[in-house]
């Protein structure tokens, strides 16, 4: 058969287009790239594991039919997935369809998989048959600096990470400790540093390992009587990245072996990068001597990203996944999900999935409903930012003016209304509401609330404004 994969896929798309909703087509089929056609097997590249599972779950029978029509009874489809959170292999891997079990079949792995149960090689990281010790760095190529949006929330940690990447072991930032709450980008940043070092210094041995994995390896080493091998292996690493070090707490033996590895690496000018969910002073169950070493270098924290950064992250993510959403939806997500980036991404994915499932276009309404259903457990409340935005949109005023100190009449009134709703709908203190609205004090906010209440009783136009706004602000 002498068919070209592009042409075949194009033919498939034509049929698919007639059989799925426009949004479904856009979300799930436009981002697919045909890769090759060999022996009646068409390989298509999809952006993520989630994407593949989604296709399998929802479109498999359609795809089967179409492939059979295009390529005959022998026709098969294979997916090539751009790697996500699987750290073992940077290359896309391939999954065959039809398949009854969901397990990914790796395509010629270049490195030894970490979890190979009955490996004849003692150390799971070492690739056999090479002269110089080669270590699978375990880095996820998606977690690069390029994909890491910079904001006030991460500026210090990011630039320290960058400095370390330019001169591993050669800066005062050794160890570099990155700490912050869950889902704020610690793991991402740690990988980014590792990737950057690998790009700049090909010969350096970089290793990313979670504290959990380190602990399990150590326990195995104790069982198998190979603690020396274990220690030696780690002492040969040039750049050691230990993720979620808080997992070591209360594990004295693991801390002990890590202490020795740490000392050796530090003395020989090797770089150590650690992440943790809290700063050293707050780490419980950690040996003092280890804690004091954590403080030798630089501790940099990651904070909750600002609204602008959250929106930038969403846009970047959408771009990477080939998804397009109306601006008002993106803004709504950014306004509503304030606590961490992982949740933000989760909401985005749920939204796309939801829209595809119900064959509905992604509208602001759908976003509101979805957030209510999926993100409820985070006790979300409308944010002051969101209230300000809705009020300004309603009165067609620039939001900067509302946040400024200006005393222009129409701005003052809009500002007062925003304060009133902030008081009514959020748990923020009067002082913090004031700070958000042009740096006013709590007495001004109180006064604003009274004024709005009075006007509401006496002015029916004003009352109408409030009713409209209240509707816009209440979710779903
Ligand atoms: P942590 O390790 O702190 O719990 P992660 O590094 O796993 O958090 O980040 C959670 C998700 O948020 C990841 O998908 C990551 O890519 C994304 N993320 C976090 N911060 C940023 C950022 N500044 N820019 C882009 N994506 C980010
Ligand atoms: Mg993490």
As a whole number of angstroms, the distance between CA 248 and CA 289 comes to 14
Domain boundaries, the chain: 5-98, 155-302, 307-378, 384-474
State the pLDDT at residue 117. 32
Q: pTM of the predicted model, to two decimals?
A: 0.62
Residue 181 has a pLDDT of 93
Q: Quick check: 122 and 226 in contact, CB under 8 A?
A: yes
Q: What's the rounded Cα separation, in Å, for the pair 301 and 150?
A: 13
CATH fold of 5-98 reads GMP Synthetase; Chain A, domain 3 (3.30.300)
Q: What is the DSSP letter of 378?
A: G
The reply to whether domains 307-378 and 384-474 share a CATH topology is: no
Cβ-based neighbour number of residue 73 at 10 Å: 6
Q: Which residues surround ligand 2, an ion (CB under 5 A)?
A: 186-187
Contact 287, 124 (CB under 8 A): no
From the number of C-beta atoms within 10 Å of its C-beta (0-12, 13-18, 19+), residue 439 rates as exposed
Count CA atoms closer than 13 A to 398's CA, side-chain side. 5
Answer yes or no: are the C-beta atoms of 190 and 178 closer than 8 Å.
yes
Q: What is the pLDDT of residues 210-223, one digit of tens each?
A: 999 999 999 999 99
Residues 18-53: pLDDT tens digits?
Answer: 888 777 788 788 889 999 998 888 888 887 767 777
Which structure tokens are listed for 282? Answer: 């707050």
Ligand 1: which of 185, 241, 242, 340 to mutate, judged by most atoms within 8 Å of the beta carbon? 185
Distance in angstroms (rounded) separating the CA atoms of residues 310 and 388: 17
CA of 112 to the centre of ligand 1 (A): 27
Q: What ligand is nearest to the CA atom of residue 340?
A: 1
CATH of 384-474, one of 3.40.50.300, 3.40.50.970, 1.10.20.10, 1.10.1750.10: 1.10.1750.10
Give the per-residue pLDDT at 88.
Answer: 43
Query: φ and ψ at 432, to 5 degrees?
Result: -75, -30
Contact by Cβ (8 Å): 216, 210: no
d(CA 150, CA 175): 22
CATH 1.10.8.60 fits 307-378, yes or no: yes
Please give the radius of gyration of the chain, using alpha carbons only, rounded to the nearest integer.
Answer: 27
Cα 415 to chain centroid distance, Å, stands at 34
Per-residue tokens: 326 = 């109306």
Q: Which residue has the tokens 């701005």?
A: 411
- Nearest-atom number in ligand 1 for the CA of 143 is 16
CB-defined site of ligand 1, < 6 Å:
143, 147-149, 154, 180, 182-188, 313, 341-342, 345
Predicted pLDDT at 122: 41
Which residue is listed with tokens 């210094």?
A: 201
Which bound ligand lies closest to the C-alpha atom of 181? 1
Strands of 40-120, DSSP E = 41-46, 76-81, 93-97
> 10-residue block means of pLDDT along the chain (476 residues)?
85 89 80 89 82 79 88 85 49 43 33 31 43 76 95 95 96 96 96 97 95 96 94 95 96 96 96 96 92 93 93 92 87 87 88 80 85 60 84 90 88 94 87 89 93 92 91 70
Topology given in CATH for the domain delimited by 155-302: Rossmann fold (3.40.50)
Element at 241 (helix H, strand E): strand 239-243
User: Would you state the pLDDT for residue 113?
Assistant: 30
Q: Which residues of 162-172 are buried (b: 16+ CB within 10 A; e: fewer)?
A: ebbbeebbebe
| CA–CA distance, 136 with 89 (Å, rounded to integer) | 9
* Predicted local confidence at residue 241, as pLDDT: 98
Q: 3-state DSSP helix/strand/coil percent for the chain, to nearest 5?
A: 55, 10, 35
Site to substitute for ligand 1 among 342, 343, 344, 347, most atoms within 8 A of C-beta:
342
């Amino acid at each position: 058969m002498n068919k070209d994969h592009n042409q075949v896929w194009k033919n498939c798309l034509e049929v698919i287009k007639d059989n799925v909703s426009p949004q479904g087509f856009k979300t799930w089929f436009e981002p697919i790239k045909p890769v090759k056609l060999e022996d009646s097997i068409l390989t298509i590249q999809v952006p993520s594991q989630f994407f593949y599972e989604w296709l399998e779950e929802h479109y498999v029978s359609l795809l089967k039919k179409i492939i059979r029509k295009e390529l005959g009874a022998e026709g098969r489809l294979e997916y090539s997935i751009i790697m996500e959170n699987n750290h073992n292999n940077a290359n896309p891997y391939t999954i065959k369809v039809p398949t009854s079990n969901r397990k990914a079949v790796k395509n010629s792995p270049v490195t030894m998989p970490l979890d190979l149960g009955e490996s004849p090689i003692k150390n799971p990281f070492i690739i056999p048959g090479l002269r110089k010790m080669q270590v699978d760095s375990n880095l996820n190529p998606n977690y690069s600096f390029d994909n890491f949006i910079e904001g006030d929330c991460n500026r210090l940690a990011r630039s320290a990470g960058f400095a370390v990447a330019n001169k591993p072991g050669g800066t005062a930032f050794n160890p570099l400790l990155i700490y912050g709450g869950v889902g704020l980008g610690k793991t991402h940043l740690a990988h980014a540093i590792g990737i950057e070092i690998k790009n700049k210094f090909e010969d350096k041995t970089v290793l990313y390992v979670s504290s959990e994995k380190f602990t399990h390896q150590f326990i195995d080493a104790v069982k198998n009587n190979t603690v020396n091998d274990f220690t030696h292996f780690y002492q040969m690493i040039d750049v050691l990245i230990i993720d979620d070090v808080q997992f070591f707490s209360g594990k004295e033996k693991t801390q002990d072996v890590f202490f020795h590895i740490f000392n050796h690496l530090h003395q020989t000018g090797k770089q150590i990068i650690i992440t943790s969910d809290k700063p050293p002073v707050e780490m419980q169950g950690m040996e003092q001597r280890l804690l004091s070493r954590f403080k030798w270098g630089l501790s940099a924290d990651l904070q909750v990203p600002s609204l602008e950064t959250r929106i930038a992250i969403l846009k970047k993510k959408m771009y990477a996944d080939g998804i397009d959403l109306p601006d008002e939806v993106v803004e709504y997500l950014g306004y509503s999900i304030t606590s961490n980036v992982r949740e933000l991404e989760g909401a985005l994915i749920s939204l796309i999935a939801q829209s595809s499932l119900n064959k509905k276009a992604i509208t602001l309404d759908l976003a509101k409903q979805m957030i209510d259903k999926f993100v409820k457990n985070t006790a979300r409340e409308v944010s002051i930012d969101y209230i300000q935005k809705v009020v300004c949109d309603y009165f067609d005023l620039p939001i900067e003016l509302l946040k400024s100190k200006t005393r222009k009449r129409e701005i003052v009134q809009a500002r007062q209304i925003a304060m009133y709703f902030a008081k009514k709908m959020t748990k923020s203190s009067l002082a913090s509401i004031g700070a958000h609205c042009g740096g006013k004090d709590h007495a001004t906010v109180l006064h604003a609330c009274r004024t709005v209440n009075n006007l509401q009783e006496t002015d029916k136009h004003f009352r109408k404004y409030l009713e409209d706004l209240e509707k816009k602000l209440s979710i779903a």
